Amino acid sequence: MRPDKFLPASLSAYLQSKKRATFYRYALVAALIAVVCIIGLLALGESP
């Protein structure tokens, strides 16, 4: 017996969207940090 049979469809969809939202937030933060690091390295490399 699968546990999602007992859960309402809206609740399971909400949990899945919540997981997806946290994943996208972490991915966005990682991308922002990578961009900042790349810009910082380029600025340091161009500065004498």
pLDDT tens-digit readout, 9-31: 788 888 888 988 899 999 999 99
Is the backbone of residue 27 left (phi > 0), alpha (psi -120 to 50) or beta?
Answer: alpha
pTM of the model: 0.56
Q: What φ, ψ does residue 7 adopt, rounded to 5°?
A: -85, 145
Does residue 36 contact residue 43 with C-beta atoms inside 8 Å?
Answer: no
Average pLDDT over residues 24-44: 94
Q: Of 7 and 37, which is predicted with more confidence?
A: 37
